């Protein structure tokens, strides 16, 4: 980078009223001057302004202007290193300046038709009207450039200091315009540690069903952002209290149905939230944080309990096979929310396996059982470690200590066996080509059956040499009906 570019990438302090440690890239002033010289307004808007008041690092630069998309592109020409059309129909142009990505959007007003999932966009001419359409007052603030004049017509700073979400207009009008804002309120509760005002909370309850017009993809994105926020519990509880969870994640409020009036067993809803909180505490020890797969599996691990609840003699309550039932339920919900296959499969697998450790007892598992535990978890083993430890919410300190000691023992055994056998990559002692050569068969399902059998042998008995594995394969083959079939018919 040249000295000239170093100067342009330098940072500048903000005017009085902002935290002293907050700065912005110097090129923001340069960009503001370019628009001003061209006869247009430009303002830094929304999240970046909010985050500066919170002394948070500004990583996104979102601007708004009275220039139309074509004019934005003209102003950026010769300044931006690259630029692209994010959505000219919605007034947004993207640009890259060094390592920074900026988005510049024409003042606009967008509303949802009562029966449509797509917003109607109309370009505006006034900054304050553009701010009026935004979701919450904490996001309806702007810095006019290049002079850094704060524009806060709806009391965003005051709301931010109070830690309360308010809407620029009435919440009913705001949520009618874009119902996803109700989920965004929950996300901000998780992300910023704020609460919602009484009128916002009332509107969310009254209008919860309107979330159904929002596409599954947009709901999913808000849910993911909520789950990886610092305190997702706050957002999830707001979704449940408002009734929005009944439409977007009904399995969560349904957990409250697993409790009984006599309180003879734990509150599954509160337990699930606690397990998620525990997982957040454990995740950095096992996986990259924040980790959506772990957190969501922790939240949903017991969703099979309402369907499997049974009252046993003596007043006991059982939830047999809730792990298997829950895995199917979470996979179904994630498919409906349009999650990708890998993420869905990972979360469902963790839900299915979350009870596996409780057969470990006092460490009496055989080496074979330990191998199967590792093999069944596959690359999700670190997630399973974190989830299993997080699932201990008992107030009985002696029981909690015993479970922790048992899991310490299991992890130690896994590590020992891994050193001896490379557990993470366990394979049968014979590969597919060797199986076909020994049995004289062609590629097909039969090879897969033989391969699976040898994998079971490997898990049960540990590694074997070629001759031992070959004999095990031949013994198995002798009992197969295909062994009596000529090769060209097999």
Q: Can you give the pLDDT at residue 352?
A: 97
Is the pLDDT at 325 greater than 70? The verdict is yes
Distance (Å, whole) CA 127 – CA 132: 9
* Residue predicted with more confidence, 272 or 458: 272
What is residue 296's predicted lDDT score, i.e. its pLDDT?
98
Q: How confident is the model at residue 10 (pLDDT cuts 50, 70, 90)?
A: low
265 and 392 together in one domain: yes
Decide: 236 and 287 in contact? Cβ < 8 Å.
Answer: no
Residues 270 and 408 in one domain: yes
Q: Output 427 or 377, whichever has higher pLDDT.
A: 377
The domain boundary, picked from 390, 405, 425, lies at: 425
pLDDT band per the 50, 70, 90 thresholds, residue 151: very high
Higher pLDDT, 13 or 168: 168
In a domain, 210, yes or no: yes
Q: Which of 125, 159, 193 is the last residue of a domain?
A: 159
What is residue 358's predicted lDDT score, i.e. its pLDDT?
84
Q: How confident is the model at residue 425 (pLDDT cuts 50, 70, 90)?
A: low
Let me know whether 174 and 146 are in one domain. no
Residue 335 covered by a domain: yes
The pLDDT value recorded for residue 359 is: 74
Half-sphere exposure of residue 451: CA atoms within 13 angstroms, side-chain side: 14
Taking the C-alpha atoms of residue 328 and residue 351, their distance in angstroms, rounded to an integer, is 9
What is the mean predicted confidence (pLDDT) over 431-440?
90
Lowest mean pLDDT among 279-288, 313-322, 381-390, 480-489: 480-489
Q: Which domain holds residue 118?
A: 3-159
* Residues 395, 436 within the same domain: no
pLDDT at residue 316 in the model: 79
Pick the range with the lowest mean pLDDT from 86-95, 98-107, 323-332, 396-405. 86-95
Judge if 138 and 84 occupy the same domain.
yes
What is the rounded distance in angstroms from the CA atom of residue 462 to the CA atom of residue 429?
9
* Average pLDDT of span 455-470: 86
Do residues 13 and 112 both lie within one domain?
Answer: yes
The answer as to whether 371 is a domain residue is: yes
pLDDT tens for 335-361 read 999 999 999 999 999 999 999 998 766
The pLDDT value recorded for residue 402 is: 87
My answer on whether 311 and 188 are in the same domain is: no
Q: What is the pLDDT of residues 19-46, one digit of tens each?
A: 777 778 889 999 999 999 999 999 999 9
Is residue 479 one of the residues assigned to a domain?
yes
Q: In total, how many domains does the chain have?
A: 4
Question: How many Cα atoms occupy the beta-carbon half-sphere of 487 within 13 Å?
Answer: 8
Residues 147 and 22 occupy one common structural domain: yes
Do residues 146 and 176 share a domain? no
Asked if 99 and 111 sit in the same domain, the reply is yes
| Weakest mean pLDDT among 40-44, 230-234, 345-349, 411-415 | 411-415
Q: Determine the pLDDT at residue 6.
A: 38
pLDDT at 261: 41
Which of residues 159, 183, 218 is at a domain's end?
A: 159
CB atoms < 10 A from the CB of 422, how many?
11
Q: Which residue has the higher pLDDT, 118 or 431?
A: 431
Considering the domain architecture, whether residues 154 and 212 belong to the same structural domain is answered as: no
Is residue 254 included in any domain, yes or no?
Answer: no
Query: For the segment 288-302, what is each residue's pLDDT rounded down to a tens digit?
Result: 999 999 999 999 999
Give the residue, 314 or 251, on which the prediction is more confident.
251
Which residues make beta-bridge pairs with 93? 85, 104
CATH number at residue 185: 1.10.110.30
- pLDDT-above-70 percentage for the chain: 89
Domain of 135, CATH number, reads: 3.30.460.10
Please say if the pLDDT value at position 12 is more than 90. no
Q: Is residue 133 situated within a structural domain? A: yes
Same domain, 76 and 175: no
């Amino acid at each position: 980078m040249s000295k000239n570019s170093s100067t342009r990438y330098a940072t500048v302090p903000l005017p009085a009223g902002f935290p002293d440690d907050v700065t912005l890239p110097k090129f923001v002033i340069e960009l503001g001057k370019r628009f001003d010289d061209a006869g247009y307004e430009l303002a830094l808007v929304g999240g970046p302004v909010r985050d500066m008041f919170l002394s948070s690092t500004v990583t996104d630069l979102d601007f708004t202007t009275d220039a139309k998309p074509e004019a934005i592109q003209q102003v950026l020409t010769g300044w931006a290193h690259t630029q692209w059309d994010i959505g000219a129909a919605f007034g947004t142009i993207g640009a890259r300046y060094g390592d920074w990505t900026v988005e510049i959007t024409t003042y606009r007003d967008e509303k949802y038709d009562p029966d449509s999932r797509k917003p109607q966009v109309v370009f505006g001419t006034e900054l304050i009207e553009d701010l009026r359409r935004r979701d919450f007052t904490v996001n309806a603030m702007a810095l006019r450039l290049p002079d850094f004049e704060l524009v806060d017509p709806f009391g965003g700073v005051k709301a931010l200091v109070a830690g309360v979400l308010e809407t620029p207009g009435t919440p009913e009008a705001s949520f009618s315009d874009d119902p996803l804002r109700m989920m965004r309120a929950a996300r901000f509760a998780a992300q910023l540690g704020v609460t919602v005002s009484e009128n916002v909370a009332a509107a969310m309850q009254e209008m919860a069903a309107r979330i159904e017009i929002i596409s599954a993809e947009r709901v999913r994105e808000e849910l993911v952002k909520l789950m990886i926020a610092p305190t997702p519990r706050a957002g999830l509880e707001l979704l449940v209290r408002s009734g929005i969870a009944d439409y977007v994640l009904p399995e969560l409020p349904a957990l409250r149905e697993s409790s009984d009036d006599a309180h003879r067993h734990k509150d599954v809803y509160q337990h699930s939230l606690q397990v998620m909180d525990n997982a957040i505490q454990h995740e950095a020890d096992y996986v990259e944080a924040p980790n959506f797969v772990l957190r969501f599996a922790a939240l949903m691990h017991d969703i099979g309990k309402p369907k499997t609840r049974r009252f046993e003699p003596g007043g006991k309550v059982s939830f047999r096979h809730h792990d298997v039932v829950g895995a199917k339920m979470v996979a179904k919900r994630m498919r409906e929310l349009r999650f990708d296959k890998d993420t869905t499969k990972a979360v469902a697998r963790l839900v299915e396996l979350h009870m596996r450790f409780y057969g470990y007892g006092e460490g009496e598992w055989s080496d074979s059982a330990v191998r199967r535990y590792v093999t069944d978890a596959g690359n999700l083993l670190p997630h399973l470690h974190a989830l299993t430890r997080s699932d201990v919410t008992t107030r009985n300190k002696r029981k909690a200590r015993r479970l922790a000691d048992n899991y310490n023992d299991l992890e130690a055994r896994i590590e020992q066996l891994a050193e001896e056998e490379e557990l993470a990559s366990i394979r049968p002692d014979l590969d597919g080509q060797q199986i076909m050569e020994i049995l004289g068969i062609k590629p097909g399902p039969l090879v897969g059956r033989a391969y699976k059998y040898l994998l079971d042998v490997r898990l049960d008995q540990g590694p074997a040499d070629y001759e031992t594995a070959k004999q095990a394969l031949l013994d198995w083959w002798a009992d197969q009906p295909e062994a009596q079939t000529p090769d060209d018919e097999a």
